[in-house]
Structure 1
């Protein structure tokens, strides 16, 4: 049974105007990952290092968020980058950030990944990070990624799976009774590969090992209140959630287990 929440592709207006109307809620989540990571490099740098950029001239990012993928000194500033997102707010923030990083050619467009306004074979690399689980029809979105990437190009897809951020989700469930149902059924580690193989001859999974070691309960609380149902918490629920998070700390720290990584996809299959 399809148990879509608004967060898991069930309400595109909510995603565009509420969840991603500005970068605030996304930043609350990315702050936790950036600040308390145990990995040697951030996910974006891990992901970028999976491919050879020497022959890449044109890049498309779908669901660009605030543009943090491009904050990487290893990437040539001569790249032509196209940033897209369903949210005008995200497109504006990402465009400003990526231009400030010094990239020579940055264009942007508000659009739906399920109907990209680009020609076939338009890009050398296409990136879709942590966004396909927000899409009503992920198969249609994957078909679009395969269509706009060049025949010798590559598509990078970062996603999570069941068990990701388990300790936070357990605290959310303790207070609110549930969290974003159906997210990884829509597109995750365990469901995404089959969807991608329908459109790419070669799909390789690269796990990203990065548990979080957190010493500030407030950062965990902010994370948990940045998505449904926590984002609509009453004052009483906020207090209960703060207490639930605090109980999970031992010796002033909380280890949060993650389950994330990147699919590297090549040799796109064309629709008949």
Structure 2
């Protein structure tokens, strides 16, 4: 299965995404509404038109409807199945982030949350985001740190090294799926296109007292991660090794703690967090 085929299967509907969202809601400490947290830092007050690229089933739309009801919200996604679950009935567009069907300087805010690491040409997508933004528009790109969930990464690494003859300590098989666009390398990518970029972090943890929700979380990622496995490892063999490790940890320690580091990168040429500075420089 290719990566594109895996994504198509992953987002044929919102079933797998919902599994992870519900696990985050139930087992996260502290329990923070991540979408609301992102939008609070994005400064949506006073904005008129928001384009949500890779909107999925609409977790950000629900927050916007509640806290910013006057905003015109437009949802887009590459995959119709998951987009069909978005409640923004009159403003849904199936399209490619690398070729947006919107006019130049036509929106105030572009959101591209937890999706840029799936895009084939990330630089082209960022160029498109900037094209459709007003000159003082703002881009919000929530993503994960390369260091997020180190406990999962350690368990994956150990299982892969035990099961495969193709894996070496620096093997690409060990990279997490979000590696192409993280909180760390995303700053550099955005800074090539925007005058200013700011990073906000939200550390938290998943605390699992039992094995089943851990395995449900991992199984929900199958269509994304299976294509990244070495040729001599099956998904079922990997999950068997992961189950054994997770079960041992919980049996010995009473719980499995998975530390998380996610956040949002905000970029603009003259608006949002940088607007006061730009206004001051113009007066000087």
1:21 paired with 2:3, answer no
| Equivalent residue, structure 1, for 2:200 | 206
**Aligned mates of 2:75, 2:24 — CA distance in 1:** 23
CA contact (8 A) 1:225 1:233 kept: no
Aligned twin of 2:125: 141
Q: Give the RMSD, CA atoms, in angstroms.
A: 2.5
Deviation at 1:55, TM superposition (A): 1.2
Residue of structure 2 equivalent to 1:242: 243
Q: Deviations over 1:143-193 (max 9, x none)?
A: 111111111221100111222112223333333457673644421122111
- Which residue pairs with 2:262 in the alignment? 260
Q: In the alignment, is the contact (CA less than 8 A) between 2:76 and 2:95 conserved in 1?
A: yes
Q: Specify the alignment match of 2:151 in structure 1.
A: 167
Q: Structure 1: which 5+ residue stretches go unaligned?
A: 100-105
Aligned to 1:61: 52
Higher Cα Rg, which structure: 2
Partner of 1:224: 218
1:33/1:168 Cα in 2 relative to 1: closer, same or farther (>3 Å)?
same
Q: Equivalents in 1 of 2:95, 2:266: separation in Å?
A: 23
Query: CA separation in 1, counterparts of 2:214 and 2:13?
Result: 20
Which consecutive aligned stretches of 4+ in structure 1 deviate over 6 angstroms post-superposition?
none
Q: Distance in 2 between matches of 1:254 and 1:238?
A: 16
C-alpha separation between the residues in 1 aligned to 2:81 and 2:114? 17
> In the alignment, which residue of structure 1 is the partner of 2:187?
193
Residue 67 (structure 2) pairs with residue 71 (structure 1): no
**Is 1:44 equivalent to 2:45 in the alignment?**
no
Q: Shift in Å at residue 237 of structure 1?
A: 4.5
Q: How many residues align?
A: 251
| Greater fraction helix | 2
Deviations 1:197-240 (A, max 9, x none): 11110100001121222223211111112221399733x55443
Which residue number corresponds to residue 79 of structure 2? 87
1:65–1:216 CA distance, 2 compared to 1 (3 A) = farther
> 1:165 and 1:219 mapped to 2: Cα distance?
15
Contact 2:198 2:267 survives alignment (8 Å): yes
Relative to structure 1, the CA distance from residue 51 to residue 239 in structure 2 (aligned partners, 3 Å threshold; closer, same or farther) is: closer
